[in-house]
Structure 1
Amino acid sequence: MPATLAQLLARPELGLRLLTPSARDALDRPILWAHSSELADPTPFLGEGQVLLVTGTPDDVDPYVTRLVEHGIAGLGFGTEVVRDGTPDALVEACIRRGLPLFEVPYRTPFIAIARFIADRVAADAYARSTWALRASRAISLAALRPDALGSALAELARQLGRPVVLLGATSAVDRVHPAHALGADARAALSTAAEALLHPRRRAGSTVQLADEQFALQTIGAAGRLRGVLAVGGDTLDQAAQQVVTSVVALAGLALEQTRATDAARARLRTACWRALLAGDHVAAAAIAEPVIGDLPGGPARVVLARGAGVEAAAEWLDLHPSTFYARDGDDLIVLAAAAPGARGSAVELATNLASRFDLRAGVSAPAALDALPRAFDQATASRDRATAEAPVSTFDDLAGGGMLALLQTDDARTVAAASLSALTDDPTLLATLRTWLDHNGVYDAAARELGIHRHTLRARVADAERLLGRDLTPFAARADLYAALQLIP
C-alpha cells in the first residue's frame, strides 16, 4: 500500500508532530505524493490525495484551508523556523474546523525527506502490485491447463482478486459464477440486463452496474460482430495491476470460447443440410442428419419463420442456446420451424418478434403447414418477410392473406408504377375522387352520380375525360380493375 499520514507521523527520523485531532480514517488515507508551494492558491498544481508542505500561509487562512479540503488534499505540513517559529494558531484552528490533518515539520527535517519517504512507498507499492500481477497471471495460466480450462481460470481470477467473477454468455444469461453462491436471483437478473445492453450493439465495450450492495465492472468477450459473452467483476474500481490481470483473462476467455466456433460451424452445416433435405421432401434423410446432433424434428404442423438482417449470426447463436425449436441458416436467411397447433400462431409470432427486436432482423411467418408442405410454407414466409419494414419488422402470412390480392401490391415498385400510370390525372384531384367513387359503385353511373351530387351525364363526361387523359378505354373489366388497383396505391 502507498504511504499514509499515520506512517509518515510514525517515522522518528522525521520528527513530525500532529497538531489537529484527526479521525483514524483520515490518518490512514493513502498519500500519493508530497508537494511544496507558497502560492495563495496552489490547488491548480495539486492532485487529490497529495500532501502540501508550506512555510507560510495567507493572512485569511479560512478560504485557503477550504480550497485545500475541497480539492481533496490529504494533509498539510507546516515547516517551522524558516519564516516564523511555530505554526500559526489561526491555521491550526482553521484545519480543525475543516477536518484537514495538520502536522508540524521541524527545521531539521527538509521537505525533500518527506517527499522521498512517500515516493519510496509509492515505488514499493507499484513493485508489489506488479509482482502480484505476475504471480496471479501465472496461477491463472496454470489453472487454464486443467480439464475445464475456462471455469478453472475464472475461479482462480476470483480467488486472486478476492472478488466475485461472473461469466455471461452470448445471450446475456449467467453462465458461471465464482464463488458459486456469490449472486442472488435479483443480482443475476440485473447483471443479465446490463450484459444484454452491451451485447446488443455487437461492438466491444465495457460498463459498470451498481447492484444493491456491490458494483460490477463489465467487459465484452470476443471480437466486434461476434461477441461471445461478458465478464463481470465485482468490487470497487480495479487498479492498473488488477485490470491487467482481468484483461488477460478476458483474452483467455475469448480464445476458449472462440475455439468452439469450428464445432459450431460444423453443426451449422448439418442444420443447413437437414433443412434442404426437408425442403426437398426427403424426410428420411433429414431425420437421419438431425437425430445424432440436432435432435428430433417437429412432428406436427409447424410455422416457418424466415428472418434476414445484420444480426443473423448472433440470432443463430441465441437459438443454439434455446434448443426447443429447429433452426438453420441457408445463405443470408435464418429459418426456424416453430411448432404450431392448428389455428394458433402466438408462439411463432412471439419468437419472430423477439428475434427481430434483439438482433435487428426483418422476419416473415408462414401459415401452419405439415412437413411435406414446407415448400409452400417457405414461399409464404418469404412473401411475408419481403413486406416487413423497419416500423413493422415482423409480417405474417395470415395478415397478408387476410388483406387479399391487393395487399400483395403494397410495395415501393407497385406504388411507383401506379403513380406513373395516373400521372396524367394528378393535376385534377377532383377527377381522381370521381373515379374512385365510380369504381366503388361497380361502374354504375346512377348510384355514383347520386353520391357525388352530380348528374349522371356529368359523371359520364368526367369518365370520358379520364379515358382521354389516360389513353385507354375503361369499358373492359380488366381496365377498370387495373385502374382500381392503381388508385389504391396512391395517396
Structure 2
Amino acid sequence: MSPTTPPAPTLRALLSRGDLALRLSSDGARDLTQPIRWVHSSDLADPTPFLAEEMVLLTTGTQFSGDDDAQYDAYVRRLAVRGVVALGFGTEVVRDGIPDPLAAACAAHGVPLFEVPYRTPFIAVARAVAEAIAAEAYARRTWALSAQRAVSLAALRRDGLGAAVSELSRQLGAWTGLYDSAGAPVRASGDLAGPVAQVVRREAETLLARGASAAGVVHADGTTVVLQTLGPGGSLRGVLAVAADALDEEARGVVTTVVAMTGFALEQNEALAAARGTLRAGVVRALLTGDAALAGGIADAAWGGFPREPVMVAVTDASPDALGAFLELRAGREHGSFFYGRDPEGGTAMVVSAASGTTFDELPARFGLRVGVSEPGPLAAFPTALEEARIARDRGDGVSRFGAVAAAGVLNALSSDAAAVARTVLAPLTRHDEAHGTSLVETLRAWLLHDARFDDAAQALGVHRHTVRTRVRLAERLLDRDLGSFAARAEIWVALLAVR
C-alpha cells in the first residue's frame, strides 16, 4: 500500500460513525482492526454457506429459541471458523437487548459483538461500509493515476531510467531495483542487506536464463521481493525488483507501467548500444591502422578521451555483444579511463591506464572467459599491444599477462599447430617404440638435453654409452636426418618440446 492511501474500512471506523449509534458490547472481543469486505444480514441458524471471510453479519436473533445456551456457542463457533469479522445484533426488534449467552459466546470465540439500535436500519450499516469501500477504491485509483503520472514525468528527466525506478520506490514506499540482461544491478533506490541482495540477484539470473517472460518472488532475511522480467520472451532486457510483501491491483498497475516503460527504454538503449558498438569498432580499426588523430578525436567527443598513457591493452575471446551491459556500465563508471571495442578477430579489446591498477579478474569469474593483457606502452603502439594481448590470452586460462608469457621463453609460446607438425616429424620414432618396445624418443630427448654428449646421456638413462650411440644412429635413419648438425638437432629438440 502507498503511504498516501487511506486504510481499508474496519470495525473501528464503522463504530466511530456517530450517525449509526452503534455500540460495542462490553463483553465482546476488542480486535477491531480487521478490514471489512462487506456487510450481510441473516437470521438463519447457519448462514455460513452464504458468507465470505472478512464480512460483518447482522441479525435480529429470531433463529434463537428457548433457553438452550449451547445454541449460541455453536452459532458463534461457526461464524468464527468461517472468518466473520464481527456480529451486529439488532435490538428492540425481537429482543430488548443482546442475550447474555450470545455475548459470552462471542467473547469466548473472539468475535466482536456490537448493538444496532432499532432506529438504525441494517441497510444504513451496509451502506456505510459500501461507501467506505467505494471511497477507498476511488482513493486507490486516484493514487494509481497520480503515481503513473509521476513515474512518467520522472522518465522524461535526463537519467530517465534511474529516475523512473526511484520514483516507483517513492510511490510504493518500498525498495526497487533494476537488473540488466546479464543479471547485474543497474539501478536501485537504496541498499539491500547483503544476503538479501545475493538471493535477489541469483533469482534475477535464474529468470533471465529461462528466456521467457516470467515473475518470481523470493523471501530472504525477513524481506519479500517481487521480480518481473522486462522485454519479450526470447529477448529479455532485464529484471525489475520490488521489495513488498503484497501488491494490490492498483500497485500492480503502476509496476506494470514501469515494466513497460523500462523495457522500452532498455530496448532503445540496446539499439543505441549497437550504434555505439559500431563506432567503437571503427576506433579500434583506426588505432590498428595508425590513425591516432581520428581515433582520439572520436574518443574525446564520445567517451571523454582515451586512458592516460602508458596504457595496457586487454583482449577476451568474447565479443562486445556478449558483454555489452557489463562493459557499458564499466565505461560509464570509469569515464575517460576505460575504453573497449570489437577486436577485428571477433573478441573484445579493452584499453586501460597502466597506472590505474585495473584488473580483469571479474571477467573470467563471471563469464568464464580467457583474458590476455599486454605490456604497458604508448597508445601509438596499440597494434603491437593488441597482438601481445592475443598471445597472452591464448596461452592460459583466466587472466594471462604477456610479460609472464615472454618470461617463460619463446619455445613455450609454440602453438597447437606446431605440436601437430611435431607429432608428424617424430612419428617414425614413436611408431618404432610402440612396435618394438624401444625408447628412441626418451633416449633422443636425454641426449639432446645433455648437449649431444653420449656419456652424460647414458648416465642419465642408466644404460651403456654404446647403447645411446646405437639408438641415436637408429633415430637418424628413421628420421632421415643427420643429427650431427646443430640445425637438425635444434629442429628435433623443438619438436620434442612441442609434443610435450
The one-letter amino acid paired with 2:340 is: Y
Aligned pairs for 1:151-190 (under 5 A) are: 153-154=164-165, 157-158=168-169, 160-163=171-174, 165=176, 172=185, 174=187, 177=189, 183=190, 187=192
Aligned pairs for 1:308-323 (under 5 A) are: 308-309=317-318, 311-321=322-332, 322-323=334-335
**Cα distance between partner residues in 1 of 2:23 and 2:470:** 111
Other-structure match for 1:453: 462
**Cα distance between partner residues in 2 of 1:75 and 1:458:** 104
Report the CA distance shift for 1:403/1:207 in structure 2 as closer, same or farther (over 3 A). Answer: farther
SS of residue paired to 1:404? coil
Report the CA distance shift for 1:154/1:316 in structure 2 as closer, same or farther (over 3 A). Answer: closer
Spell out, residue by residue over 1:143-200, the C-alpha distance to the aligned partner (whole angstroms, 9 max, x if none). 656777556655654454344555677862546x4xxxxx4xx649788766755666
Structure 1 alignment gaps of length 5 or more = 80-84, 107-113, 178-182
1:328–1:336 Cα contact (<8 Å) kept: yes
**Cα distance between partner residues in 1 of 2:240 and 2:16:** 42
Aligned residues: 452
Deviation at 1:306, TM superposition (A): 0.8
Report the CA distance shift for 1:210/1:156 in structure 2 as closer, same or farther (over 3 A). Answer: same
SS of residue paired to 2:460? helix
Aligned pairs for 1:36-435 (under 5 A) are: 95=109, 101=111, 129=140, 132-134=143-145, 136-138=147-149, 140-141=151-152, 153-154=164-165, 157-158=168-169, 160-163=171-174, 165=176, 172=185, 174=187, 177=189, 183=190, 187=192, 197=202, 203=208, 208=218, 217-219=226-228, 221=230, 231-309=240-318, 311-321=322-332, 322-323=334-335, 324-330=337-343, 332-340=346-354, 347-348=357-358, 350=359, 352-388=360-396, 392-409=397-414, 411=416, 414=419, 418=423, 421=427, 422=430, 425=433, 431=439, 434-435=442-443
1:316–1:334 Cα contact (<8 Å) kept: no
TM-score by length of 1: 0.65
**Cα distance between partner residues in 2 of 1:267 and 1:157:** 29
The one-letter amino acid paired with 1:347 is: G
1:329–1:335 Cα contact (<8 Å) kept: yes
Other-structure match for 2:95: none
**Cα distance between partner residues in 2 of 1:408 and 1:47:** 78
SS of residue paired to 2:185? coil
Report the CA distance shift for 1:90/1:396 in structure 2 as closer, same or farther (over 3 A). Answer: same
SS of residue paired to 2:361? helix
Spell out, residue by residue over 1:247-279, the C-alpha distance to the aligned partner (whole angstroms, 9 max, x if none). 211221232344344544444333322222221
Report the CA distance shift for 1:416/1:357 in structure 2 as closer, same or farther (over 3 A). Answer: farther
The one-letter amino acid paired with 2:398 is: P
**Cα distance between partner residues in 2 of 1:216 and 1:9:** 36
**Cα distance between partner residues in 2 of 1:485 and 1:457:** 25
Deviation at 1:337, TM superposition (A): 1.4
1:328–1:334 Cα contact (<8 Å) kept: yes
2:178–2:185 Cα contact (<8 Å) kept: no
The one-letter amino acid paired with 2:382 is: L
Deviation at 1:94, TM superposition (A): 7.3
The one-letter amino acid paired with 1:316 is: L
1:383–1:397 Cα contact (<8 Å) kept: yes
**Cα distance between partner residues in 1 of 2:475 and 2:55:** 88
**Cα distance between partner residues in 2 of 1:260 and 1:232:** 19
Other-structure match for 2:34: 29
Quote the RMSD (CA, aligned, Å).
5.9
Deviation at 1:123, TM superposition (A): 9.0
Report the CA distance shift for 1:147/1:417 in structure 2 as closer, same or farther (over 3 A). Answer: closer
Deviation at 1:244, TM superposition (A): 2.1
Deviation at 1:445, TM superposition (A): 3.1
Report % sequence identity.
37
Structure 2 alignment gaps of length 5 or more = 1-6, 64-69, 90-98, 117-124
2:342–2:349 Cα contact (<8 Å) kept: yes
The one-letter amino acid paired with 1:364 is: G
